[in-house]
Amino acid sequence: MTGLLLDDVSIRIPLPGTPRRWVHAADGVNLRVAPGEVTAIVGESGCGKSVLAQAIAGLLPAGTRTSGSIRLGSLDLLALSDATFQPLRGKRVGLIPQSAATHLTPVRTVGSTMAETLRLHGVRTGVDEVLADVGLPPGTAHRYPHELSGGMAQRVLVALTLALHPDVLVADEPTSALDPETTDLVLARLAEEARNGSAVVLITHDLVAARTVADTVGVMYAGRLLEVGPAATVLHEPRHDYAATLLAALPENGLRPAPGTPSSLVDPEPGVCAWHTRVGLACAPGPVATAADLVACVPAGRS
């Protein structure tokens, strides 16, 4: 299977109802998502993680401006029209979205929607077997989306996306509506999909989930990746102080919240480090080894 390469990706989304104001959802993002691995992108809500997922899946809102490239083999996904991208969704690029219930057709049963999707992609596995893969009973196929709990709807889309075995699988907060036991099941399935050769991108604010399955972790803040590296390093001995702040907020570390107020993504001041401005520190650019091992900046005077 083919991995994914994000090269200097920047995304600007027009702010509705304002004259020429922009949400800077991604700023110079570089990341390699290797086949056979899980790459987790973590960070506080509103940092741009989900927009990056939409960019990979070709689902950015109208009027969005992008630069850089997102390469899947010889294809630049950012440069494709929707008509060209449409055939790639499912088998080449799969997306498990947030708010799963809104992505199911309300006037069709779950089984009807799933059967059509599986048939279009040439998957012969039965609907009940696909649902059982994420712990859902056969009767689920006969229910309408409004009859499902949020967690059940989430598992339906997880099951359907996994059944297509895409080259690149983007899971955007796939466990946010799930209980701990089902969370473990879904994470295990994502890890299995990676072992079978997919390049898996896990978008999550849950550091414990990332620590459970990720091989590589990218830490995102205000549209920028501040640290990228092996999960064992980033989630245990981070080099960037923002990553350390996220870890300090875990219950096991005393639930210490991040200081200050989250930075706005609307028209940020160019060339200013949003995180160190938030905490009142000057910073200096950090060393950048490769796109798979990055520290964006460090407090001034600290190497």
Q: Does 185 map to a domain? A: no
Q: Does 124 map to a domain? A: no
Q: Domain range for residue 11?
A: 4-90+215-299
Q: Does 206 map to a domain? A: no
Q: Does 118 map to a domain? A: no
Q: Which of 180, 179, 181, 140 is nearest to 159 (CA)?
A: 140
Q: Are 43 and 239 in contact (CB under 8 A)?
A: no
Return the CATH number at 36: 3.40.50.300
Q: Does 139 map to a domain? A: no
Q: What is the pLDDT along the chain (303 residues), one digit of tens a residue?
A: 679 999 999 999 999 887 789 999 999 999 999 999 999 999 999 999 999 999 999 999 999 999 999 999 999 999 999 999 999 999 999 999 987 777 889 999 999 999 999 999 999 999 999 999 999 998 999 999 999 998 999 999 999 999 999 999 999 999 988 899 999 999 999 999 999 999 999 999 999 999 999 999 999 999 999 999 999 999 999 999 999 999 999 999 998 999 999 999 999 998 899 999 999 999 987 766 555 589 999 888 765
Taking the C-alpha atoms of residue 118 and residue 130, their distance in angstroms, rounded to an integer, is 10
Q: Does 207 map to a domain? A: no
182-203 pLDDT tens trace: 999 999 999 999 999 999 999 9
Tokens of 206: 């849950």
State the total domains in the chain: 1
Q: Does 96 map to a domain? A: no
Q: Are 61 and 2 in contact (CB under 8 A)?
A: no
Q: Does 163 map to a domain? A: no
98-157 pLDDT tens trace: 877 778 899 999 999 999 999 999 999 999 999 999 999 989 999 999 999 989 999 999
